[in-house]
């Protein structure tokens, strides 16, 4: 079966090389019993790949069970996966088969496998290595023949370093890795997906299909899509139901995109990501630091030019070596036709041997630590908003949740 035939069968839309590569790997390993670990961001469509592997493999006539490990409470996940005997715990009024016993001869898909407790991970490792497991409250060893496909949006090597995931289980699951690309890396597919969703919702709600203007298409393609395909689908549904106009322009589309600046802004957009466990608020603060540095340089240029324009008379507050130093600047850079850039470049360095009576007061070198600048900016925003964090977050151009996290991270007392 070709990649295009697989797409048609499972309703996959897109033509990006990274997506085609993931589908090709899934098709190749389907005929084997190797364990597969599918990685990718939340909402990127990981759940379709276990179905491809199961349907195209030799176990296609056996059962297929999908289990969301993150949705099962820690106290009951062993019972759900491996079953339990009657009376093994409070509420166990009768014996129950677990998913591994029910899925014998078929495939079990463990979604969000990184959320599994460490004790359950040890049980899972035994099943993968020997096909054996023991029900909760039992002593008899049972056998199962199950193909295991797992998926996660967590960086498992980092989880291993934090002792939240077993390293031996990772290597056992990761026999064949499949990386599902995020939507922002499939720009050529974004508009195709949106048009498909729009047609589906138009048929579902019996209304005309929405269409995007060229400027709205540009906004759609350039947006970050933190929630990937799921977010795109939800926003398309919102617009289809709420908007009366069927032609959507950029201004209308922006209202449905979280953290999206107005289309008239030329500033870089603040983007959030999750593959490293943090967001892009640091980038936003870094932009502010750079803007502050640019403003300081502009003020310095204005000061020097002002000195030249006023015949070398200095503002009040300069004295001693400071005054002689700026007078030296004035005399050396005050040349006809010299630009402001040349003025700044020709500023001489102060004398290395100031007099004892009049020591030179040089400015302290400003710290270039991004963390210190973030703390400073957050404190200024909190002072300006009189401690109201919602207003401070708006002033900083970040979400209130991000501001709370930063306050806790830097232990800011406000």
Q: How many C-beta neighbours within 10 Å does residue 321 have?
A: 18
Enumerate helices (H) and strands (E) in the chain, giving the number of each.
18, 9
Q: How high is the pLDDT of residue 19?
A: 96
pLDDT at 171 over 50: yes
pLDDT at 324 over 90: no
Q: What is the b/e burial string over 346-368, where b = at least 16 CB atoms within 10 angstroms of the residue's CB?
A: eeeebeeebeeeeeeeeeeeeee
pLDDT at 66 over 70: yes
pLDDT at 332 over 80: no
pTM of the full structure: 0.62
Among the listed ranges 23-37, 145-159, 347-361, 366-380, which one has the minimum average pLDDT value? 347-361
Strand 132-134 with 141-143, pairing = antiparallel
Q: How confident is the model at residue 148 (pLDDT cuts 50, 70, 90)?
A: very high
Q: How high is the pLDDT of residue 310?
A: 58
Q: What is the mean pLDDT of residues 329-351?
A: 54
Q: How confident is the model at residue 194 (pLDDT cuts 50, 70, 90)?
A: very high
Q: How high is the pLDDT of residue 322?
A: 54
Q: How high is the pLDDT of residue 261?
A: 46
> Who has greater pLDDT, 336 or 167?
167
Among the listed ranges 104-108, 127-131, 177-181, 371-375, which one has the minimum average pLDDT value? 371-375
Q: Would you say 29 and 176 are in contact if contact means Cβ atoms under 8 Å apart? A: yes
Q: What is the mean pLDDT of residues 106-128?
A: 96
Sequence-distant (6+) residues with CB within 8 A of 245 are 252
Choose the most confident range, by mean pLDDT, from 77-81, 323-327, 334-338. Answer: 77-81
Instruction: Domains for the chain: give ranges and CATH numbers.
Output: 3-181 (3.40.50.300), 184-254 (1.10.8.60), 301-365 (no CATH), 367-410 (1.10.10)
Query: What's the Cα-to-Cα distance from 326 to each of 164, 252, 318, 333, 355, rounded to whole Å?
Result: 61, 55, 9, 10, 16
Q: How confident is the model at residue 395 (pLDDT cuts 50, 70, 90)?
A: confident
Give the tens place of pLDDT for each residue, 222-276.
999 999 999 999 999 999 999 999 999 999 999 999 875 444 444 444 444 444 4
Share above pLDDT 90 across residues of the chain, in percent, rounded to a whole number? 59
Give the tens place of pLDDT for each residue, 120-144.
999 999 999 999 999 999 999 999 9
Give the tens place of pLDDT for each residue, 341-391.
555 555 555 554 544 444 444 454 455 567 777 888 888 888 888 888 888
Q: How high is the pLDDT of residue 264?
A: 40
DSSP 222-291: HS--TTHHHHHHHHHHHHHHH-S-SEE-HHHHHTTSTTPPPTT--SPPP----TTS--THHHHHHHHHHH
Query: What's the Cα-to-Cα distance from 91 to each of 86, 107, 236, rounded to whole Å?
Result: 9, 29, 44
> Who has greater pLDDT, 68 or 296?
68
Q: How confident is the model at residue 190 (pLDDT cuts 50, 70, 90)?
A: very high
Q: How high is the pLDDT of residue 177?
A: 96
pLDDT at 318 over 70: no
Give the tens place of pLDDT for each residue, 70-87.
999 988 999 999 999 998
Sequence-distant (6+) residues with CB within 8 A of 220 are 190, 191, 194, 212, 253
């Amino acid at each position: 079966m070709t990649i295009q035939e697989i797409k048609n069968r499972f309703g996959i839309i897109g033509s990006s090389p990274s997506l085609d590569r993931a589908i090709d790997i899934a098709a190749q390993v389907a005929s084997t019993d190797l364990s597969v670990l599918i990685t990718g961001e939340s909402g990127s469509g990981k759940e379709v790949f276990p179905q491809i592997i199961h349907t195209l493999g030799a176990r296609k006539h056996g059962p297929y069970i999908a289990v969301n490990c993150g949705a099962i409470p820690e106290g009951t996940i062993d019972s759900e996966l491996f079953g339990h005997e009657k009376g093994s715990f409070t509420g166990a009024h009768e014996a129950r088969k677990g998913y591994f016993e029910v899925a014998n001869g078929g495939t079990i898909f463990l979604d969000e496998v990184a959320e599994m407790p460490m004790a359950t991970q040890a049980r899972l490792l035994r099943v993968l290595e020997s096909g054996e497991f023991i029900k909760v409250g039992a002593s008899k060893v049972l056998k199962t023949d199950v193909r295991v496909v797992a998926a996660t949006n967590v960086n498992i090597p980092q989880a291993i370093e934090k002792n939240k995931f077993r390293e031996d289980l990772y290597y056992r699951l990761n026999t064949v890795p499949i990386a599902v690309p995020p939507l922002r890396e499939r720009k050529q597919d974004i508009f195709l997906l949106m048009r498909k969703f729009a047609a589906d919702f138009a048929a579902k709600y019996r209304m005309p299909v929405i269409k995007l203007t060229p400027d709205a298409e540009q906004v759609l393609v350039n947006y970050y899509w933190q929630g990937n395909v799921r977010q795109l689908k939800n926003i398309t549904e919102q617009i289809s139901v709420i908007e009366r106009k069927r032609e959507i322009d950029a201004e209308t589309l922006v209202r449905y995109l979280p953290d999206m600046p107005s289309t008239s802004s030329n500033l870089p957009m603040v983007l959030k990501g999750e593959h490293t466990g943090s967001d892009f608020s640091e980038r936003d603060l870094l932009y502010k630091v750079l803007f502050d540095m640019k403003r300081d340089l502009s003020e310095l240029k204005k000061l020097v030019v002002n000195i030249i324009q006023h015949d070398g008379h200095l503002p009040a507050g300069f004295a001693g070596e400071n005054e002689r130093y700026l007078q030296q600047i004035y005399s050396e850079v005050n040349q006809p036709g010299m630009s402001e850039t040349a003025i700044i470049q020709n500023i001489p360095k102060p004398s290395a041997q100031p007099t004892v009576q009049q020591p030179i007061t040089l400015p302290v070198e400003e710290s270039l630590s991004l963390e210190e600048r973030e703390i400073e900016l957050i404190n200024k925003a909190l002072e300006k908003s009189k401690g109201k964090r919602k207003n401070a977050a708006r002033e900083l151009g970040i979400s209130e949740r991000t501001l709370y996290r930063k306050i806790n991270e830097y232990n800011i007392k406000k």
